[in-house]
Amino acid sequence: MCGRAGAHAGVDSTTIAPVPRDESTLDTRTHDSVVASADREPLVLALMIAWAPAEPDRVGEVALFDAGGGTRVLGRGAPASGGSERVVFHRQRPESLERTGPLESRSLSREQLRVRVEKRRLHIERIGKCPMLVDGKGVDRCSLSPGQSVLLKGQMLLHCTVRPRKLARPARAKMGSTHTFGGPDAHGIVGESPVAWDLRFQLAWAAAANEHTLFLGDSGSGKELCARAVHSVSSRAKGPFVARNAATIPAGIADAELFGNVKDYPNPGMAARPGLIGAANGGTLFLDELGELPQGLQANLLRVLDEDGEYHCLGETVARSSRFRLLGATNRGAEALKHDLAARLTLRVTVPGLNERREDIPMLVRHLMRRALVKSPDAVERFFSKSGAGGEPEPNVSAGFIEALMRRSYETNVRELRGLLWAAMSRSEGDAIERSYESASPVSDRVQEWLEHEEEDEESSQVEEPAASEPTEAEVRASLAEHDGNVQRTAAALGLSTRYVLYRLMKRYGIERP
């Protein structure tokens, strides 16, 4: 869902803003939400741009299709006079459906696809020159259900999903100016799906409520990032944010870790320390993996979580008071907590995993790749071009890799996605990420994989049209000249899957790299 907390270049706006407090609300999901708007707004089929190397800033845009809306044509540029109704893409956000301009990828025909809704599926017919592939096989017609994708070879990956026509904004949620479409918001949260926006509204509500809160979600879903977002827009934002993994607190010194100790107690020479609770006074204490804390230690937290925040520092007879807010997190569910501790964590925020928001994966890939470029430029720079919006570097990732990531079932979410990206980069030979290698496979596994691909190729050869011939030397030279030597745009214009393919052709024809 999100990367780790921290500053992000180019983000100059606040997405989450506090909302008025209503103490009657305990579960943030009972607050009006974007997802709940589906109950009021009918869901419609949609095509989302998941990959578009010629127009990367359009990833995340959607085209909405009403049942009975007739046939529409997807293609490049403005429609011909008197032509068929066009497929129109939008940037969809709460209370906003911003229409974007026509597609500009030069290798798309002006009339490339016909699209209509029939029996809750999108029926698509290729009428232009660009080959169309589903599951790697060339087809002229297909029917897509939500979760499936269609590739216009070398140009665009379109992912079928469902969306409400209008994303509702909770009546009591006050939102600031929004971040760049598809990029991280001011808190590092990435995503434009209804689920991502629902999470942002949950966090805004939790920030305003100022109650002890429990974050629920699978490992790697971004619970700490969400806790930091809540702190940063709450009334405690100017106070400290103290974070600790509760599972790492040793049982023998848990009281000292939590409540602190005076000088020379319990052993001579011990320095005085405030403990986590004292250090968080006036701010927020985040305890990750709270469910791993033994129930005997959980009981030690009960009194300090009451109204007065009263506790005893070890070695002192006079009670102290800490005005802190506890944000706990667990991947085990609230039932893993001691029942009276769970009762004191008044609010619940559920952080969705990647399996619930696959539409955000292409945007997360871009975000994680750009962070990797900052951290390890020598290793990652070759996978980037400078064709991104606003002059930002744009990662070169193959459509097949993006589609595989969107289909994958995740267990550790963003951590797993990040690991897959690094594994793929370490194994990719060209300057584009072609596929993911999770580990070096034994020879027998690789042979089996090769045999499966051979069977797929044989089956594909029986149903596909003859493959288009490769561009000639003259065509490559002309296209390079037309695009001022930009290999990314040249490869897209020639209908090649990646720049790596173009580099192979240039080497064959004796054409020097620009």
Q: Are 148 and 134 in contact (CB under 8 A)?
A: yes
Here the tokens at position 191 are 């995503």
Task: Tell me the chain's radius of gyration from C-alpha atoms.
Answer: 27
Q: What is the pLDDT of residue 514?
A: 64
State the pTM of this model: 0.78
Q: Report pLDDT digits (tens) over 406-419.
A: 999 999 999 999 99
Q: Indicate if the pLDDT at residue 435 is higher than 90.
A: no
- CA dist 456 and 118 (Å) reads 29
Mean pLDDT, all residues of the chain? 84
| 174: confidence class by pLDDT, cuts 50, 70, 90 | low
pLDDT value, residue 497: 67
Q: What mean pLDDT do residues 186-202 have?
A: 95
CA distance 464 to 476: 25
The tokens 């029917």 sit on which residue?
A: 143
CB 114 within 8 A of CB 125: yes
pLDDT digit string (tens) for 259-288? 988 887 877 777 788 899 999 999 999 999
500 Cβ neighbours under 8 A, 6+ residues apart: 429, 430, 431, 432, 434
Q: In 265-360, where does DSSP find H-type helix? A: 275-279, 295-299, 339-344
Q: What are 449's two structure tokens?
A: 């994989």
Confidence (pLDDT) at 454: 43
Q: What is the pLDDT of residue 437?
A: 44
Q: How far is CA 432 from CA 51, 182, 429, 484, in A?
A: 13, 21, 8, 21
* Beta-carbon count within 10 A of 140 CB: 13
List the structure tokens of 430: 């060209």
Give the model confidence (pLDDT) of 450-495 as tens digits.
444 444 444 444 333 333 467 888 888 988 888 778 887 788 788 7
pLDDT value at position 7? 38
